[in-house]
Amino acid sequence: MNELALNAASLRYDNGFTALNNVTAQFDSGSFTALVGPSGCGKSSLLRLLAGLEQPFIGSVAGLAQRHIGFVFQEPTLLAWRSVADNITLPLQIEGHSPNEIATRLDEALALVGLADFADALPRQLSGGMKMRVSLARALAKRPPVLLMDEPFAALDELTRFRLDDDLRAIWQQQKCTIIFVTHSVTEAAYLAERALIMQSGEIRQEIAIDQSGRDGGFRSAPAFTAACAALSAALGHDIGGEI
């Protein structure tokens, strides 16, 4: 079953810039896909197309309704005057869920991101990593079958990023949702995803499957991880390295 699919889709903005050119891609239910490529290659535009925030001028997008998609942006975009709990539950309130349902989903989301003790905190009391956890919890509270993530951990320090990557993989394995994750980091893509789509100039140039061997142990030191990093770096035309 394909949750989402792009069928020969092209996206052109009002200024005439073509962000995506004849892109075809399928995202199977429960899969984890990384979108990797240089800045301006169309990664974020592809997410916006999948989310229904933009419409193709040629081709089509098939899949779920927008309300069934969770979106985590590059910035946490939290309301400063609302508590962690109130930031997470705002979309549920707007959608008209009952108070009991909202409370249940809030508890679930807080537990998933490890913030059960911070429900009453304000954003100014949180670290950068914690703010991003709130943003992730807000998306997860919708119980979305599809989660779109646009470089959510890019601004965080490496240790915090590693921890969030670990937590995200655990959430994915538990929730069985489809995740499409934009990143500039070769190592992050290799660690998180089952496959990577290499993008350049508004097109998907290559698809790379990522061997899942060694996931039960320290995968960052496993041969499969090293091989995946090398394959991604080669596809991008770079020497092996973390960022592109």
User: Taking CA 25 as the corner, what is the angle to CA 21 and CA 26, rounded to the nearest 5 degrees?
Assistant: 160
Instruction: Examine the domain organization and report whether 44 and 94 are in the same domain.
Output: no
| Distance separating alpha carbons of residues 102 and 128, to the nearest angstrom | 25
CATH number (domain holding residue 27)? 3.40.50.300
Domain range for 92 is: 79-144
| Count of domains observed in the chain | 2
* pLDDT band, very low/low/confident/very high, at 238 (cuts 50, 70, 90): low
Tokens of 190: 């290799």
| Distance separating alpha carbons of residues 64 and 159, to the nearest angstrom | 35
**pLDDT at residue number 1:** 47
pLDDT tens per residue across span 36-83: 998 889 999 999 999 888 899 999 988 766 567 899 999 999 999 999
Instruction: Examine the domain organization and report whether 96 and 151 are in the same domain.
Output: no
Answer with the one of 122, 144, 166 that is the final residue of a domain.
144
**pLDDT at residue number 240:** 45
pLDDT tens per residue across span 83-134: 999 999 999 999 999 999 999 999 999 999 999 999 999 999 999 999 999 9
The SS3 call for residue 82 is: coil
| Distance separating alpha carbons of residues 237 and 244, to the nearest angstrom | 10
| Distance separating alpha carbons of residues 41 and 198, to the nearest angstrom | 10
Q: Is residue 70 assigned to a domain?
A: no
Give how far the C-alpha of residue 186 lies from the chain's centroid of Cα atoms, to the nearest Å: 15
Answer with the one of 98, 125, 144 that is the final residue of a domain.
144
Instruction: Examine the domain organization and report whether 46 and 152 are in the same domain.
Output: yes
Over the chain, what is the mean pLDDT? 90
**pLDDT at residue number 134:** 97
**Residues contacting 166, CB < 8 A, separation 6+:** none
What's the rounded mean pLDDT across residues 208-216? 84
In the predicted structure, residue 221 carries a pLDDT above the cut 90: no
Answer with the one of 121, 144, 167 that is the final residue of a domain.
144
Instruction: Examine the domain organization and report whether 150 and 240 are in the same domain.
Output: yes
Tokens of 8: 């020969």
**pLDDT at residue number 64:** 65
Could you count the other beta carbons within 10 Å of the beta carbon of residue 102?
Answer: 20
Could you count the other beta carbons within 10 Å of the beta carbon of residue 94?
Answer: 8
Question: Which has more pLDDT, 161 or 85?
Answer: 85
Tokens of 161: 């990023």
What's the rounded mean pLDDT across residues 121-149? 95
In the predicted structure, residue 190 carries a pLDDT above the cut 90: yes
What's the rounded mean pLDDT across residues 7-17? 91
Instruction: Examine the domain organization and report whether 32 and 150 are in the same domain.
Output: yes
Which of 71-75, 162-166, 220-224 shows the lowest mean pLDDT across its residues? Answer: 220-224
Token pair 């950068």 is at which residue?
128
Q: Is residue 71 assigned to a domain?
A: no
- List the beta bridge partners of residue 25: 6
**pLDDT at residue number 16:** 85
End-to-end CA distance of the chain: 33
Instruction: Examine the domain organization and report whether 189 and 218 are in the same domain.
Output: yes
